[in-house]
């Protein structure tokens, strides 16, 4: 799988403290990330394309609507209004955003807080003050989510091609053969990729 | 003054700041990030932002502690903020005082809080003075080059 190395990964950093925002921005830029900083959870959601965060059915945003793709979100936990945990929940509730890895930062080492965030789907928890060495932990999460995304896209293409079999002869027959063999592989490798959506393969 | 002499002054100042526990290794992180070359004004910028932030918080704290009935939750929230930003830039002494200050907030000890505020203010002013001297020396050294 070819991973584009020219375009740097884009991180959205959320922190209400100005000195902290400056610091995280510099840490990320020094580590070759493209950075956008915002000072609140609601501004983060705005940037990500979710509006009206108080409404109960989460608004699903198509990825094409995001002007700039965000590869990772790093947020402070303690913020007035919407905490980092609240933001995390909103992101995980959104069908288009839930696969973006989220890292929580906090100056307080509270195990129950850390566990709660990890259980809600946070990929990593950094204790503040954040240091340069912490930045190397970010890329693996981005790459992992990209692998997952790529696999899911492949699955989607297979189910599309098999459903179009009648309309499109030669192309679909060869691709459906391939998709069948990939299907078997996917099922064999179930334990490796537990998120296989079985219902598509009928 | 010659750049070498200025540099010696700057190094002595920094050494004393570290030795006295005024700043810790997190401040070294900031220096490292600047020494990387791409952002010469980084330390100056963050330090200035911190000082403005701390100044604002200290004023808010003073106002809150003057109230007839003190809202300790608000006081605690501000002290938490100051503790966080001081930790982020490596302002160790201020950070430690904030930790004690938070305990006094949680105990709802008004007199204790007022004293802690006085200590934090003094430590902050001392730190700010040293930062200002540091930045001036850096500017003078830069000007020589």
Least confident of A134-148, B107-121, B125-139: A134-148
- Between B36, B46, B80, which is nearest A19 by CB? B46
A17 contacts on B by Cβ (under 8 Å): 53, 81, 84-85, 88
In tens, the pLDDT along A145-192 reads: 888 778 878 888 777 665 554 444 444 444 444 444 444 444 444 444
- Which residue of chain B has the CA closest to A79? B81
- Residue A120: pLDDT above 60? yes
A130 contacts on B by Cβ (under 8 Å): 88
B91-95's contacts with Cβ under 8 Å and 24+ in sequence apart are B91/B22, B91/B23, B91/B27, B91/B50, B91/B127, B92/B21, B92/B22, B92/B23, B92/B24, B92/B26, B93/B20, B93/B21, B93/B22, B93/B123, B93/B127, B94/B54, B94/B120, B94/B123, B94/B124, B94/B127
Quote the pLDDT of residue A161.
Answer: 62
Domain that holds residue B23: 1-143
**CB distance A164 to A62 below 8 Å:** no
Share of chain A above pLDDT 70, in %: 67
Quote the pLDDT of residue A68.
Answer: 72
- Residue A88: pLDDT above 50? yes
In this prediction the ipTM stands at: 0.91
Collapsing DSSP to helix, strand or coil, A38 comes out as: strand
If contacts are CB pairs under 8 Å, which of residues 125-154 in chain A contact chain B? 128-132
In tens, the pLDDT along B51-101 reads: 999 999 999 999 999 999 999 999 999 999 999 999 999 999 999 999 999
Quote the pLDDT of residue A186.
Answer: 40
Task: Give me the residue label for tokens 């003078």.
Answer: B140
- Between A19, A27, A78, which is nearest B80 by CB? A78
CB contact under 8 A, B84 and A27: no
Q: Quote the number of domains for chain B.
A: 1
Say whether residue A114 is in contact with chain B using an 8 A CB cutoff: no
Say whether residue A15 is in contact with chain B using an 8 A CB cutoff: no
In tens, the pLDDT along B26-52 reads: 999 999 999 877 788 999 999 999 999
Task: Give me the residue label for tokens 């391939």.
Answer: A178
Is this prediction's pTM over 0.90? Answer: no
Across the A:B interface, residue pairs with CB atoms under 8 Å apart total 54
CATH number reported for the structural domain that contains residue B42 in this entry: 1.20.120.160
CB contact under 8 A, B84 and A17: yes
Say whether residue A107 is in contact with chain B using an 8 A CB cutoff: yes
Domains of chain A: 10-52+67-149 (3.40.50.2300)
């Amino acid at each position: 799988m070819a991973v584009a190395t020219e375009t740097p990964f884009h991180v959205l950093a959320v922190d209400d403290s100005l000195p902290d925002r400056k610091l995280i921005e510099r840490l990320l830029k020094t580590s070759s990330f493209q950075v956008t900083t915002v000072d609140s959870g609601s501004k983060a959601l705005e940037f990500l394309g979710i509006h009206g965060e108080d409404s109960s059915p989460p608004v699903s945003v198509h990825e094409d609507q995001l002007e700039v793709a965000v590869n990772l979100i790093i947020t402070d936990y303690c913020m007035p209004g919407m905490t980092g945990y609240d933001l995390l929940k909103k992101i995980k509730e959104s069908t288009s955003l839930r696969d973006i890895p989220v890292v929580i930062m906090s100056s307080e080492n509270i195990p129950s807080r850390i566990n709660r965030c990890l259980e809600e789907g946070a990929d990593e928890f950094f204790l503040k003050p954040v240091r340069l060495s912490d930045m190397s932990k970010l890329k693996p999460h981005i790459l992992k989510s990209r692998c997952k995304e790529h696999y899911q896209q492949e699955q989607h293409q297979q189910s599309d091609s098999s459903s179009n079999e009648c309309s499109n002869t030669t192309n679909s027959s060869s691709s459906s053969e391939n998709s069948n063999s990939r299907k078997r592989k996917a099922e064999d490798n179930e334990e490796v990729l537990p998120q296989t959506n079985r219902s598509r393969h009928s | 003054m010659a750049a070498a002499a200025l540099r010696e002054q700057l190094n002595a100042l920094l050494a004393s700041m570290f030795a006295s526990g005024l700043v810790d290794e997190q401040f070294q992180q900031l220096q490292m990030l600047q020494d990387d070359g791409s952002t010469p004004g980084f330390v100056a910028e963050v330090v200035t932002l911190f000082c403005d932030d701390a100044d604002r918080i200290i004023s808010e704290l003073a106002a809150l502690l003057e109230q007839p009935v003190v809202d300790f939750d608000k006081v605690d929230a501000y002290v938490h903020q100051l503790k966080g930003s001081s930790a982020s830039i490596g302002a160790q002494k201020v950070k430690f005082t904030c930790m004690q200050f938070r305990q006094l907030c949680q105990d709802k000890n008004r007199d204790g809080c007022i004293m802690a505020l006085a200590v934090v203010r003094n430590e902050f002013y001392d730190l700010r003075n040293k930062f200002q001297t540091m930045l001036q020396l850096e500017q003078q050294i830069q000007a020589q080059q």
